[in-house]
């Protein structure tokens, strides 16, 4: 089965293709001819995921799924949350976002956080959403070079490594994204 994964992030495509295996073939936005930036202006992670998938399905007429992920830090009232990718501003990168996060957490004792991923699948048969949540805590400095986003400062519960210190195979066993994609995979295989 061929599906569009509504992203142009090659790290995400690689990570998810490894999870889904050979039964599914993923195409990126570029591969279906979508060159525009997809809007992410909803108030929730689930809303952003739905917005992206719906746009691709309605505009390009291909079965697709989109994900959105947010880091929810307890001491910051759930921030950055839906604004995780642009926490330090629209033109900023992951290093800028991490720097702002660590600055905001200075002097706060509670470093607990959740990574939340919501995937929206839209096909001719309808729309379905799948969620994965990973609990952990934020380190005061970056560790590791794997992964992307906030991975270098996020240590999952029950481990001593950040997500950026883990090999991809290990990360794919426990990550929020992996949890959500395993739910998507089970759903797709039941209907294949």
Q: Catalytic positions, please?
A: 68
* In 21-106, alpha helices (H): 45-60, 94-105
What span, in angstroms and rounded, lies between the C-alpha atoms of 117 and 127?
A: 16
> Got the DSSP string for 98-166?
HHHHHHHHTT-S--EEEEEEEEEEEETTEEEEEEEEEEEEE-SS---SSS-TTGGGEEETT-SS-GGGS
Pull the structure tokens for residue 125. Answer: 């048969």
What span, in angstroms and rounded, lies between the C-alpha atoms of 169 and 150?
A: 18
């Amino acid at each position: 089965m061929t599906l569009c994964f509504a992203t142009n992030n090659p790290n995400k495509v690689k990570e998810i293709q490894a999870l889904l295996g050979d039964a599914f073939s993923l195409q990126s936005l570029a591969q279906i001819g979508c060159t525009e930036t997809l809007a992410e202006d909803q108030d929730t992670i689930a809303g952003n995921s739905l917005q992206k998938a719906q746009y691709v399905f309605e505009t390009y007429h291909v079965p697709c799924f989109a994900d959105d992920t947010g880091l929810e830090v307890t001491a910051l009232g759930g921030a950055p949350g839906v604004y995780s990718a642009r926490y330090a501003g629209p033109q900023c990168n992951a290093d800028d976002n991490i720097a702002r996060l660590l600055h905001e957490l200075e002097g706060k004792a509670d470093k607990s956080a959740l990574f939340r991923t919501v995937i929206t699948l839209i096909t001719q048969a309808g729309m379905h959403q799948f969620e994965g949540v990973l609990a952990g805590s934020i380190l005061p400095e970056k560790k590791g070079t794997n992964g992307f986003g906030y991975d270098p400062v996020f240590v999952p519960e029950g481990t001593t490594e950040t997500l950026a210190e883990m090999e991809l195979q290990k990360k794919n066993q426990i990550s929020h994204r992996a949890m959500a994609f395993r739910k998507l995979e089970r759903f797709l295989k039941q209907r294949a």
